[in-house]
Chains A and B, each alone.
Chain A
């Protein structure tokens, strides 16, 4: 229901233009939930076919969520081409590394293949989101409230899913009921964060570009930077030529 409210709100504010992949993720999530409910009602919880279809569609949803996370990353850092070129490659490398580690070190048979794959994919998403905010902090990039809360929600959702799946793999039988409860509760909290972030009308306005838009600031700042650095370089040039005096 909360997901439906959020999607309606996004449609009403035309936020799907700003975050198209995130809107696609919410839509897929709703469709997947509806498909899963129908399948389990018709075929029962013990049906293998329902299990396979349910988890296959879940994989699609996770992949689209990863794309939505990439969209948030691009929304925050994409304006700064140089910074984005480096950070996107680094985040992708770290994410793939974490995914491979999770799949390799977590392997012990095919009993929990689905949850292992989910842990790997969620680790990938969480690493990319955390990397995004680390880069934003390092470069002093101001993160808009909606982008920040979308990222926070995506990151939190992934981390909770990792922990939940880990505990589930360890205590399979005793944790089965709680596993579903924890996952649902966490998703409700995350949906609340997203609704909070995307509720106001003003967020539909695209975030302004980097400071190059006003040429006067740039033209007054850059000569000063250049002059200072030239002075510094001259000082350094003199310094390296100077030998220490002897007593």
Chain B
């Protein structure tokens, strides 16, 4: 028997067992819809600070500091701004996770929602997480990255738009159901 196949298959089986316990433990401990209205109160907030972050990432600011002050001042400014952008990236990630949680609750509350939206969100989530890690890596390496940060903000916005669309569909269905109920009562 192929030894490589044996090792890979054994690792796969052991991995499945571990994943099974991890996933089952998480699923059993959680109570569906426990967050209730509280989760809505924590809707995304940080993405609205994008203007200040754009300002912080502007190279012209650093050139201005270097010209009017010194190179040391510009370097210090760059370091501090990079740290701020790191905090901002983390905040954007939290915004994204929060939106995802809302989206999951909406999906569970609406059994008729199309699966294509779930696919889109899954794709967006994977893409966001990859981009987030890449952006953070580049930032840690010392590159200030305005386009990537902008892209992450756009992804949060896309997700918000998707959720809005899902809720609009739900609203339409709820209105239709209410109308039918009134008609049947009459």
The residues of A with any CB-CB pair to B shorter than 8 Å are 79-83, 85-86, 89, 98, 102, 105-106, 108, 112, 119, 123, 126-127, 129-130, 133-134, 136-143, 145, 148, 151-152, 155-156, 159, 162-163, 166, 169-170, 210-212, 218-222, 224-226, 228-233, 235-236, 239-240, 242, 244-247
Contacts and interface: CB of A to CB of B under 8 A. Distances in A.
Contacts of A240: 157
Contact of A140 (B14, B48, B104): B104
Contacts, number: 195
15 contacts: A85-B118, A86-B118, A86-B122, A123-B12, A130-B23, A141-B32, A148-B24, A148-B28, A162-B13, A210-B108, A210-B109, A211-B108, A212-B109, A218-B174, A222-B170
B58 A244 contact: yes
A231 to B, nearest CB: 8
Interface stretch (B2-10, B79-87, B131-139): B2-10
Give the interface size bracket for B toward A: 35 or more
B107 A106 contact: no
Contact of A228 (B19, B24, B43, B58): B43
A40 B72 CA distance: 87
B47 A80 contact: no
B69 interface: no
A233 B61 CA distance: 29
In this complex, the member of A159, A231, A240 whose beta carbon has the largest number of chain B beta carbons within 10 angstroms is A159
Nearest to B51: A242
Contact of A163 (B10, B32, B118): B10
B126 interface: no
A83 B108 contact: yes
A83 B171 contact: no
A239 B47 contact: yes
B48 A239 contact: yes
B185 interface: no
Contacts of B110: 82, 212
What are the 10 A-B residue pairs with the smallest beta carbon separation, nearest first? A133-B23, A85-B115, A82-B113, A136-B27, A137-B26, A244-B54, A81-B111, A86-B115, A86-B118, A142-B32
Given A224-B37, A225-B102, A133 B27 contact: yes
B2 to A, nearest CB: 6
Interface of B: 1-2, 5-6, 8-10, 12-14, 16-17, 19-20, 23-24, 26-28, 30-34, 36-37, 40, 43-44, 47-48, 50-51, 54-55, 58, 60-61, 64, 102, 104-115, 117-119, 122, 153, 157, 160-161, 163-164, 167-168, 170-171, 174
Contacts of B107: 80, 82-83, 139
Given A141-B27, A169-B6, 4 more contacts: A80-B111, A140-B32, A142-B31, A229-B43
Contacts of B117: 82
Contacts of A148: 24, 27-28
Contacts of B40: 221, 224-225, 228
B104 A151 contact: no
A222 B36 CA distance: 11
Contacts of B64: 247
Nearest to B118: A86
B19 A130 contact: yes
B111 A210 contact: yes
Given A133-B27, A239-B47, A79 B20 contact: no
A169 to B, nearest CB: 5
A65 to B, nearest CB: 16
Contacts of B26: 133, 137
Contacts of B164: 226, 229-230, 233
